[in-house]
């Protein structure tokens, strides 16, 4: 263990001292906060001047044009006794008007008989504003024309909207009070967060192991290393070292993000955004507040992170050992990444039905189980499933380490020719 711990320590020190590590560690939370704050910021900054639009309305009595309501976005000016051609000439620069809206005589029969000519580029939100105002006006007029008494209240009474649906888990008792409340929203969010977390860890840190192996091989340090320790000590030292780097980085992120959302978000986000976030949060709190459930979740997460990471990073280490440059790793990389990406696609389906047979199987296959099963666990699934899945995962981890060790021990000495799958198989078989 002495040598392995030296290798772990070196890997950890060198990686955490790197500028790129420090930058990524600080930037990532900023980026995530940015994502959270961006929508309200865009809304705030997106407000522009009121646009002046002149309206030529050919309908009798200008029934449509006269009902267009100005607001902070657009200001309508109804023109009297001017044809659209005259209007085009009279208002031909953006100083005079943003655009000329023409409403045809038969608009109520022919919905296409309307046009907006602008002096500058149009804007989607203005078009939408005009479209919805005209639609509403025509609709209202048509309702009036039916001459049914009390039509307004009839229509209003058809607007049905359910409050939140209370979901509970049937525990066999006849008393709803004793049933456990569940929240699909919260489960989905948790599942999504955990699935993506695993995805990120497998890809980022798995690749980090690979680059580390390639670096050592490229700089030829490897020759000195293998006369100082066994290839297996070297490989496991690297994997554990990178795992420690990952743990550190994620811990820092967690602290920064939690800190930021507690203190920074209230300042940056306006009240409406906070209020809607709060509504979701109440639902989630019910789930998050369940301490026992969270502990269980955390333990599973830990096991899946470790298992998944070791499984993938040993494969990445094997690939790294077999090639000379990161570019050469391409084809092998694609194969390793495929199950990870497949897992993410399957994970999205978990939220429709966490217990479908297909998803159940994907949460058993070791290459996809960390991501898929972690997304399933917040939903209600039989207890034996994660246990069996973990058993399969850890058995596969053993096999993967063994195979990777075999490839690694030969791969690190191979220079020049890019290996083929056949070579790798041969190395595995070599005693």
Partner 1 sequence: MDTILKIEHVSKAFTGHQALDDVSLEIPRGSIYGLLGPNGAGKTTLIRIINRITIPDNGKVFLDGKEIATEDIYHIGYMPEERGLYKKMKVGDQAMFFAQLKGMKKADAEKRLKWWFERLEISDWWDKKIEDLSKGMAQKIQFISTVVHEPKLLIFDEPFSGFDPINADLLKREILGLRDRGATVIFSTHNMASVEEICDDITLINKSRNILSGTVDEIRRKAGGNTFQVVFNGDIEAFNAAIQGIGTTIDEPEGIIGGYTQQKIHIQEDSNVQQAIASLNQACRLRSFQEIVPSMNDIFIRAVNGTL
**Binding stretches for partner 1 (CB under 8 A):** 3, 6-7, 10, 13-14, 18, 215-216, 219-230, 413
Distance of CA 116 to the CA centre of its chain: 38
Kindly state the smallest distance separating residue 415's Cβ from partner 1, in Å. 9
Best CA proximity match to 126, nearest among 42, 48, 62: 48
Burial group, residue 3, by CB count within 10 angstroms (0-12, 13-18, 19+): middle
Token representation of residue 181: 């409340």
When the beta carbons of 218 and 349 are compared against partner 1, the nearer one is: 218
Kindly state the smallest distance separating residue 8's Cβ from partner 1, in Å. 12
Kindly state the smallest distance separating residue 221's Cβ from partner 1, in Å. 4
Kindly state the smallest distance separating residue 230's Cβ from partner 1, in Å. 7
When the beta carbons of 4 and 137 are compared against partner 1, the nearer one is: 4
C-alpha Rg value of the chain to the nearest Å: 32
Kindly state the smallest distance separating residue 264's Cβ from partner 1, in Å. 34
When the beta carbons of 215 and 270 are compared against partner 1, the nearer one is: 215
Token representation of residue 356: 């479908």
When the beta carbons of 221 and 280 are compared against partner 1, the nearer one is: 221
When the beta carbons of 402 and 413 are compared against partner 1, the nearer one is: 413
Question: Which residue matches tokens 């096991």?
Answer: 303
Kindly state the smallest distance separating residue 21's Cβ from partner 1, in Å. 12
Beginning with the edge strand found earlier in the chain, give each strand of the sheet holding 74-78 in spatial order: 74-78, 51-57, 99-103, 114-118
Token representation of residue 348: 């999205």
Token representation of residue 264: 């920074």
Best CA proximity match to 273, nearest among 42, 23, 24, 19: 42
Kindly state the smallest distance separating residue 239's Cβ from partner 1, in Å. 17
When the beta carbons of 3 and 296 are compared against partner 1, the nearer one is: 3
| Alpha helices, DSSP H, located in 146-230 | 151-157, 184-218, 221-226
SS percent in the chain: helix, strand, coil, step 5: 70, 5, 25
| Alpha helices, DSSP H, located in 219-355 | 221-226, 231-263, 265-268, 271-288, 291-322, 330-350
When the beta carbons of 144 and 223 are compared against partner 1, the nearer one is: 223
When the beta carbons of 55 and 234 are compared against partner 1, the nearer one is: 234
Kindly state the smallest distance separating residue 209's Cβ from partner 1, in Å. 16
Q: How many angstroms separate the CA atoms of 303 and 165, rounded?
A: 34
Q: How many angstroms separate the CA atoms of 370 and 373, rounded?
A: 6
Kindly state the smallest distance separating residue 413's Cβ from partner 1, in Å. 6
Kindly state the smallest distance separating residue 279's Cβ from partner 1, in Å. 49
When the beta carbons of 4 and 207 are compared against partner 1, the nearer one is: 4
Best CA proximity match to 116, nearest among 126, 75, 69, 61: 126
Kindly state the smallest distance separating residue 3's Cβ from partner 1, in Å. 6
DSSP string, 119-140: SS---HHHHHHHHHHHHHHHHH
Sign of dihedral through CA atoms 56, 60, 61, 66?
negative
Could you count the other beta carbons within 10 Å of the beta carbon of residue 116?
A: 17
Q: What are 100's strand-pairing partners? A: 54, 117
When the beta carbons of 111 and 413 are compared against partner 1, the nearer one is: 413
Q: What is the DSSP letter of 416?
A: S
When the beta carbons of 14 and 152 are compared against partner 1, the nearer one is: 14
Please report, in angstroms and rounded to a whole number, the separation of the first and last CA atoms in the chain.
Answer: 24
């Amino acid at each position: 263990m002495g040598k392995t711990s030296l290798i772990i320590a070196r890997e950890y020190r060198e990686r955490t001292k790197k500028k790129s590590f420090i930058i990524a560690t600080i930037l990532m939370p900023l980026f995530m906060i940015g994502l959270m704050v961006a929508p309200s910021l865009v809304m705030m900054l997106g407000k522009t001047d009121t646009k002046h639009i002149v309206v030529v309305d050919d309908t009798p009595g200008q029934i449509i044009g006269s009902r267009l309501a100005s607001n902070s976005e657009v200001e309508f000016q109804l023109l009297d006794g001017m044809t659209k051609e005259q209007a085009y000439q009279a208002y031909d620069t953006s100083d005079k008007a943003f655009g000329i809206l023409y409403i045809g005589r038969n608009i109520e029969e022919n919905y296409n008989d309307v046009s907006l000519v602008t002096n500058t580029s149009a804007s989607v939100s203005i078009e939408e504003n005009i479209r919805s105002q005209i639609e509403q006006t025509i609709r209202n007029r048509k309702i009036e024309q039916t001459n049914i008494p009390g039509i307004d209240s009839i229509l209003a009474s058809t607007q049905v909207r359910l409050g939140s649906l209370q979901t509970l888990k049937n525990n066999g008792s006849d008393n709803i009070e004793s049933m456990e409340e569940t929240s699909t929203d919260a489960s989905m969010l948790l599942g999504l967060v955990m699935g993506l977390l695993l995805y990120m860890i497998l890809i980022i840190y798995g690749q980090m192991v690979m680059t580390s192996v390639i670096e050592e091989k490229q700089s030829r340090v490897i020759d000195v290393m293998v006369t100082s320790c066994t290839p297996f000590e070297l490989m496991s030292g690297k994997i554990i070292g990178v795992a420690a780097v990952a743990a550190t980085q994620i811990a820092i992120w967690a602290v920064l993000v939690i800190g930021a959302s507690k203190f920074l978000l209230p300042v940056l986000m306006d009240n409406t955004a906070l209020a809607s976030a709060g509504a979701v949060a109440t639902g989630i709190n019910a789930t998050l507040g369940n301490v026992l459930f969270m502990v269980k979740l955390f333990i599973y997460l830990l096991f899946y992170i470790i298992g998944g990471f070791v499984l993938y990073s040993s494969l990445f280490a094997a690939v790294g050992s077999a090639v000379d440059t990161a570019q050469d790793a391409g084809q092998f990389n694609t194969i390793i990444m495929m199950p990870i990406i497949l897992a993410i696609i399957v994970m999205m389906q978990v939220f429709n039905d966490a217990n479908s047979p297909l998803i159940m199987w994907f949460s058993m296959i070791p290459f996809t189980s960390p991501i898929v099963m972690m997304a399933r666990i917040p939903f209600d699934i039989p207890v034996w499933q994660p246990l069996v899945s973990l058993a399969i995962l850890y058995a596969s981890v053993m096999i993967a380490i063994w195979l990777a060790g075999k490839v690694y021990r030969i791969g690190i000495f191979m220079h020049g020719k890019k290996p083929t799958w056949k070579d790798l198989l041969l190395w595995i078989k070599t005693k």
